Amino acid sequence: MTAPAPSALAVKRGRDPTLTISVVVIWGFMALFILFPLAKILVLTFERGGHFSLANIIEILGHRSHYQAFWNSLLLGGLVGLLGTLLGFFFAFTAVRANLSRRWTLFLDMAIILPLISPPFTTAIAMIFSFGPRGLITYDLLGIGRFNVYGLHSTLFAETITYFPIAYLTLKAILAGIDPNVEDMAFSLGSGRWRVFRTVTLPLTIPGLANAFLLLFAASLADFATPLILAGNSFPVLPTEAYLQITGLFDLKGGAVLSFALLVPAFIVFMLQRFWVGRRYYVTITGKTGSQTAIKSVSPWAARLLLAGCILLSLVIVYFYLLLFYASVIAAFGANHALTLKHYRVVFTEGLKAIQDTLVIAGCGMLLGGLYGVVVGYLVGKKAFVSRTAMEIVSMVNYSLPGTIVGIAYLIAFNDRPIMITGTALIIVAAYVFRYGAAGIRTTVAILQQIDPSIEEASHSLGAGTLTTFRRVTIPLILPGLFTGLGVVFIRSMTAISATIFLVSINWTLITVRILEKMTELELGVAAAFSILVVAIVMAVTAAIGGCLRLFRQPGAPSMSSILGG
Amino acid sequence: MEAMAIGLDHITKTFLHRVKGRVTAVDDVHLDVEPGELLTLLGPSGCGKTTTLRMVAGFEKPTRGRILFGRQDVTGLMVNQRNMGFVFQNYALFPHLSIFENVAYGLRVKQMPAAAIRSSVTEVLEMVGLTGYEEQFPNQLSGGEQQRVALARAIVIRPQVLLFDEPLSNLDAKLRVHTRVEIRNLQKTLRITSIYVTHDQEEAMAISDRIAVMNRGRIVQVGTAEELYYRPGTDFVARFIGRINSLPATARRGEVSPPRLDICGHPYPQPGGGRQAAAGEAVRVFIRPEMVALVGDPAQGDFPARVTARTFLGEKVEYVLEAGGAPLGATAYASAATTLHPPGATVGVRLPAEHLMLLPEEKDLP
């Protein structure tokens, strides 16, 4: 063994040219696709005659309907947050504390995951089928001919069903993290079951409840598809108002101002989550369970009641999907119930272009978004450089903002020189990459934090160089992050609409946009068939990614549900 | 393979600390580890022992000084060029690889043929008693088993040097004793020169050929367990290895030379070897509790003391006494015939002069 000159081997920290170049390149992309559009929207909102001015805001929000939409959005968000958190807690508590058998747990998980992987209209469409003028329940079952399905009540119900799984996943993790021994301790001190729930379990879950509420509030605030179909004229909300302002009146400035009005509450929620809720978690997820103890906090009767309630609600979800499927294979819902495949024929002929476009865009977005997620995640989670925290925060901006804002911002920013990409596939792919790639960043950072530096040192001590270590140890360990990133970008590309509705064109369109068009053209059968197709594709992809993740048997690997929870 | 000496040639490591400024973690450590020897670096947390070990491994680069494996200067060599095995405190197993692949990792890096890898790994897994665990994954194993995989992974590459960083600190007490015997046996069988880091003095005494006691970045004393226990170089070593009484004493004036030491009114000759106290000087004298003899009749002892607490531990009895306002510990090895002194009783204390120690004091004890 001969010793090379020490100087050649010295590792100079902080002067890694690859690092510097990657950081500069990533910042370039972030500036272009995150900061620039956001700046554009702010300029358009606050600029009049070349000066800073509040006149635009006063003018637009002065409209009674817009002013009303602002408060409606907040009301809807608050109610969805409240109801969804309640429902999510109910399900999570049952799943964790009611001693369910494996089969029931699986059934509940499946039913709950359905809304998470569906295009955003599915519940809304099923609502129309159930409670519309010719609805299965209102017309056929109850004989009510003139039931008004449009308004706050339906929107609230549909959004709660669509978004409560987010609360379920958040709260399940928290409840599962509470050591049953803590409850045992309270029992040993003489508390009854109800008292233990009230004084131990519930207080420990409060930060989780707050977090779930904020998540649901933000989701409802950003939701565009459900209110568009179900809210009707009497209950305008901000995202739909902004959409109509732009597509109906071609008023970009008005759209920008309305989406700014949306940005303010969204920003408050983001800050609350990051700086208030984040610091108040009592339960740490260590992956280490205390000694096994039977759960005594729920009496057998209460457990049966909880389970029954959950099954009933799950059946409602399952019913919605069966109805959707039924509507897709009959001639005309409410009029002609003859079985037919004609809607699918339309989907695969007239709709073929949308399917192809969506798959191409989702595929490109998936690859680029996954790569982006892992690279940024690796930089943020592992490397030390000056702008690290700033990069982490900026990377989350598009992910945290309501899609309507991102869509309008992209439309404004890239409609004109210097970068004119409106109408291309590129703008849609970019919107997805920088919005949903953030999920890949989060998982990669989380995984990297769990990798002890000594694992890489161990590899070095066994004779492996930096490159070998990276290839054989680091890469395999962060692969789950890559898969998660890929999965989220693909699934969201298949199902999202709020941002991209502003970005589609004659040349490039998306399935979700076609569903909306078919809804407005009242071709509900075709819309249902499209929805079923999307659900099928997403389920297949979810299963494939779940299979890939299972190949990596390691403690840090995230489960599929954690992917969708983000 | 012939065992190889390790030399730490006056190594120093300074860090730039964000708050404290420049901090010297390791201060001019000079040490020779004999071929085939197991030497332990022992000290309180923050004494620089792990930093020293990490410099030997190559994870850190010394600010000054050289590291020698045999006659070769490895200071400038990367970790992966040192042919060294490292056992981590948290095992650092590769979570995505099976036990077989974890152990085979170093051999694959060396691009050894598959058949040779299989036989080497099988042999080493048998050595650590993990035959049959090949296809398991690290998270399926207990802490003790994981530690043995870490050991197997380190020795399978036939390293010239084996380094241990508190390898037993995550195990429970019983397993710790068991595993340290295994490590010691394996190290002796393979005759690999080893450096072992721990803060547990009992573990150090059980496992080592020699112990280097470290404090505040420096080596205070190097020696066998017996040498450190019976002839500690400083009060720090005396306190850190085992337990010891520290008694106030005064050198008498106008007497024989060297002056005798007054402890609780009784004169004792000055201990030989170490430093000498000048007449009138106030010093502290050290004695191990098991060297303190108690007699039931206070008049029979050098000076009287009152029993304040007694702990019966089966083969021995530990007393806490009070003499001249200062506490004094005494351990009596018990047989059925031993009389137990009840708390509150006044007994006579005898301090054998040959076991008294006058030690140079170190500042800033932990």
3-state secondary structure A370-420: HHHHHHHHHHHHHCCCCCHHHHHHHHHHHHHCCHHHHHHHHHHHCCCCCCC
Q: Which of A59-63, A382-386, A467-471, B121-125 has the highest mean pLDDT?
A: B121-125
Single-letter code of the amino acid located at B150: A
For the entire predicted model, the pTM comes to 0.71
Q: What does the pLDDT look like over A246-302, one tens digit per residue?
A: 887 777 888 888 888 888 888 888 788 777 766 655 544 443 334 445 566 677 788
Q: If you average pLDDT over residues A521-544, what whole number do you get?
A: 87
Residues from chain B contacting residue A3 (CB–CB below 8 Å): 72-74, 76-77, 81
The pLDDT of residue B62 is 93
Q: In DSSP terms, which residues pair with B349 in a beta bridge?
A: B294, B303
Find the domain containing A442 and state its range.
341-566
Chain B residue with minimal CA distance to A475? Answer: B96
B243-357: which CATH architecture?
A: Beta Barrel (2.40)
φ, ψ dihedrals at B53, nearest 5°: -65, -40
φ, ψ dihedrals at B362, nearest 5°: -105, 145
Judging by DSSP bridges, how do beta strands B303-312 and B346-350 pair with one another? antiparallel
Helix then strand count (H, E) for chain A reads 26, 4
**Residues A485, A367 share a domain:** yes
Q: Which DSSP state fits A503?
A: T
The pLDDT of residue B337 is 64
How far is B296 from chain A, CA to nearest CA, in Å? Answer: 49
B18 touches chain A (CB under 8 A): no
Q: What CA–CA distances, in Å, run from A222 to A217, A248, A274, A402? A: 9, 20, 18, 4
- Burial grade of A80 (CB within 10 A; 0-12, 13-18, 19 or more): buried
**Residues A484, A359 share a domain:** yes
Q: What does the pLDDT look like over B53-70, one tens digit per residue?
A: 999 999 889 999 999 999
Residues from chain B contacting residue A463 (CB–CB below 8 Å): 80-81, 83, 106, 109-110, 157
Contact across the interface for A463 and B95, Cβ inside 8 Å: no
3-class DSSP state for residue B324? coil
User: Above 60 in pLDDT, residue A522?
Assistant: yes
Q: Distance (Å, rounded) from C-alpha B109 to C-alpha B86?
A: 16
CATH class of B6-239: alpha beta
Chain B residue with minimal CA distance to A472? Answer: B105
Residues from chain B contacting residue A10 (CB–CB below 8 Å): 61, 76
Domain boundaries along the sequence of chain B: 6-239, 243-357
* Residue A174, in any domain of the structure: no
Q: Distance (Å, rounded) from C-alpha A10 to C-alpha B112?
A: 28
Count how many domains chain A has. 2
Q: Distance (Å, rounded) from C-alpha A337 to C-alpha A525?
A: 11
**Residues A105, A142 share a domain:** yes
For the sheet with B326-333, list strands across it.
Answer: B293-295, B346-350, B303-312, B316-323, B326-333
Cβ neighbours for A507, distance < 8 A, ≥ 6 positions apart:
A423, A424, A425
| Tally of CB atoms within 10 A around A405 | 28
* Residue A190, in any domain of the structure: no
Contact across the interface for A452 and B90, Cβ inside 8 Å: yes
Contact across the interface for B83 and A5, Cβ inside 8 Å: no
Contact across the interface for B76 and A464, Cβ inside 8 Å: no
B15 touches chain A (CB under 8 A): no
| Tally of CB atoms within 10 A around B218 | 17
Q: In DSSP terms, which residues pair with B69 in a beta bridge?
A: B6, B72
| Mean pLDDT of chain B, nearest integer | 89
Share above pLDDT 90 across residues of chain A, in percent, rounded to a whole number: 7
Residues from chain A contacting residue B80 (CB–CB below 8 Å): 460-465
* Residue A530, in any domain of the structure: yes
User: Above 90 in pLDDT, residue B203?
Assistant: yes
Residues from chain B contacting residue A452 (CB–CB below 8 Å): 90, 92
How far is B37 from chain A, CA to nearest CA, in Å? Answer: 21
* Residue A41, in any domain of the structure: no
Judging by DSSP bridges, how do beta strands B161-165 and B84-87 pair with one another? parallel
Chain A residue with minimal CA distance to B107? Answer: A462
Among residues B250, B228, B251, the alpha carbon closest in space to that of B240 is found at B228
Calculated CA dihedral for residues B251, B254, B259, B263, nearest 10 degrees: -40
Q: In DSSP terms, which residues pair with B164 in a beta bridge?
A: B87, B196
Nearest to A458 among B92, B96, B139 (CB): B92
A4 touches chain B (CB under 8 A): yes
Q: What CA–CA distances, in Å, run from B258 to B274, B281, B350? A: 13, 12, 22
The pLDDT of residue A145 is 63
Q: How many residues does chain A have?
A: 566
**Residues A325, A467 share a domain:** no
Task: Count contacts between A and B (CB, < 8 Å).
Answer: 94
**Residues A564, A458 share a domain:** yes
Structure-block tokens of residue A175: 């409840």
Q: Which domain CATH number covers A471? A: 1.10.3720.10
Contact across the interface for A457 and B73, Cβ inside 8 Å: no
Residue with tokens 């005898």: B350
Do residues A267 and A194 make contact, with C-beta atoms less than 8 angstroms apart? no
Chain A residue with minimal CA distance to B72? Answer: A3
Nearest to A457 among B59, B154, B157 (CB): B59
**Residues A89, A70 share a domain:** yes
* Residue A483, in any domain of the structure: yes
Q: Distance (Å, rounded) from C-alpha A48 to C-alpha A385?
A: 39
* Side-chain-facing half-sphere of B308: CA atoms under 13 Å: 10
Q: What CA–CA distances, in Å, run from A410 to A406, A419, A421, B242? A: 6, 11, 9, 72
User: Above 70 in pLDDT, residue A44?
Assistant: yes
Chain B residue with minimal CA distance to A10? Answer: B76
Do residues B277 and B286 make contact, with C-beta atoms less than 8 angstroms apart? no
Structure-block tokens of residue A531: 């929805």
* Side-chain-facing half-sphere of A336: CA atoms under 13 Å: 8
**Residues A365, A275 share a domain:** no
Cβ contacts of B79-83, under 8 Å, gap ≥ 24: B79/A457, B79/A460, B79/A461, B80/A460, B80/A461, B80/A462, B80/A463, B80/A464, B80/A465, B80/B109, B81/A1, B81/A3, B81/A463, B82/B57, B82/B58, B82/B161, B83/A1, B83/A463, B83/B157, B83/B159, B83/B160, B83/B161
Chain A residue with minimal CA distance to B96? Answer: A554
Cβ neighbours for A543, distance < 8 A, ≥ 6 positions apart:
none
**ipTM given for this complex:** 0.81
Q: If you average pLDDT over residues A202-220, what whole number do you get?
A: 84
**Residues A354, A321 share a domain:** no
* Residue A179, in any domain of the structure: no
B153 touches chain A (CB under 8 A): yes
Q: Which DSSP state fits A31?
A: I
User: Above 80 in pLDDT, residue A458?
Assistant: yes
**Residues A552, A461 share a domain:** yes
Contact across the interface for A461 and B78, Cβ inside 8 Å: no
Single-letter code of the amino acid located at B54: R
Q: Distance (Å, rounded) from C-alpha A461 to C-alpha B257?
A: 59
Residues from chain A contacting residue B81 (CB–CB below 8 Å): 1, 3, 463
Q: What CA–CA distances, in Å, run from A5 to A34, A265, B332? A: 46, 60, 61
- Burial grade of B86 (CB within 10 A; 0-12, 13-18, 19 or more): buried
The pLDDT of residue A284 is 46
**Residues A108, A248 share a domain:** yes
| Tally of CB atoms within 10 A around A286 | 9
The pLDDT of residue A310 is 87
**Residues A324, A360 share a domain:** no
A476 touches chain B (CB under 8 A): yes
Interface test with B, best of A286, A450, A451, A461 (most B CBs within 10 A): A461
Domains B6-239 and B243-357 share a fold: no
* Residue A350, in any domain of the structure: yes
The pLDDT of residue A279 is 60
The pLDDT of residue A233 is 78
Q: If you average pLDDT over residues A336-341, what whole number do you get?
A: 80
How far is A286 from chain B, CA to nearest CA, in Å? Answer: 14
The pLDDT of residue A2 is 37
